Amino acid sequence: MKTLQLGTRGPVVSAICLGSMTWGRQNSEQQAHQQLDYASERGVNFIDTAELYPVNLVKPETAGVTETIIGNWLYRQGGRDKKVIATKATGFGQIGLRNGAPLTGKILRSTVEASLKRLQTDYIDIYQLHVPNRPGYHFRGIWNFQPQNNREAILENMADCLQALADLQQAGKIRHFGLSNESCWGMSQWLRLADQGLGPRPVTIQNEYSLLCRYFDADLAELAVNEGISLLAYSPSAQGLLSGKHTAGIIPEHSRRNVNIGLGGRCTPNVWPAIDAYLQIAREAEVHPVTLAIAFVMSRYFTAVPIVGASAVEQLYPSLDAASFVITDSLARRIADVYKTHPMPF
């Protein structure tokens, strides 16, 4: 497993990150620990979670269960210093906790303490804000997105959060800071305020990115390259759609589509021909389609770490195989042609 550094001063991590958002819902603690054990054997040292998890579906009474599962594994496994743990604070509109209240510095100070307790650790390697404190275009919000014109209040809140993050970093409770589901304007403001000395500079942004969802290419990629920000790419296989197991009329047993029929708006009439085109590339390359999808994310000209997840440990095999699969120039050209034909299928 290759390793890379996040940001310009962030931790060194495995080139693939293990995601955990279904643990405690679709996966038992034992199954989650099996995935953690296997991923560790394959060289993965990077684990992503959130105080909101598990999802599908989010429920207040289960929020935090996934962190607890990981904490129990860390306690059993030992070697905390050899793992990189990223978690997230729940914020604006995420009704699973605090009724979707926006994040503030005061809330961040308490959420970190709660996550530390569940994770059974003294520090969090990367502490992320799960969503911006304002409307955004992620989760299919792009189709009716209208930016909020409230600049001063937004910046005041950012400054408040940065001060809390600086205090938490000074206390040794978090080591690095990242954003999630942010926009280019939002990232530029966090960076500007941090460079003014108001708090830590973000090292990562965790946004959706896959063969089927490439908003990041339009503007955030330029910011990432020039500002030293690494992408943590969630749903790199489009929540399993790129596995080839799903069709418009076939829902695989025990898949996320059994509880979330549209996969958060990803299952549109336009998505199926796009998937078929990428599956054809994988067949011709004689590679598992998930391996192709994960390797594509890893091949980008900006630093991108795919966050892979699974319902069963066997589903991790093709994802982790991407570590040794190369996207050749000819494959890249084929992918580019399909992208031009199916640029935004959901």
Confirm if 270 and 242 have CB atoms less than 8 A apart: no
What tokens appear for 208 in the block? 């959706």
Beta strands in the chain (DSSP E): 3-5, 12-14, 17-19, 46-48, 84-89, 124-129, 174-180, 204-208, 230-234, 304-308
One-letter-per-residue 3-state SS of 127-174: EEECCCCCCCCCCCHHHHCCCCCCHHHHHHHHHHHHHHHHHHHHCCCE
Length of the chain: 346
Local structure of residue 83 (DSSP, 8 states) = -
What tokens appear for 67 in the block? 């962190």
Query: Residue 121 CA to chain centroid, in angstroms?
Result: 21
Confirm if 48 and 306 have CB atoms less than 8 A apart: no
Please tell me the distance from the alpha carbon of residue 181 to that of residue 137, in angstroms, as a whole number. Answer: 8
53 given a catalytic annotation: yes
Confirm if 224 and 209 have CB atoms less than 8 A apart: no
User: Which of 38, 53, 127, 137 is flagged as catalytic?
Assistant: 53
Tokens 């021909």 -> residue = 273
Among all residues, which ones are annotated catalytic?
Answer: 53
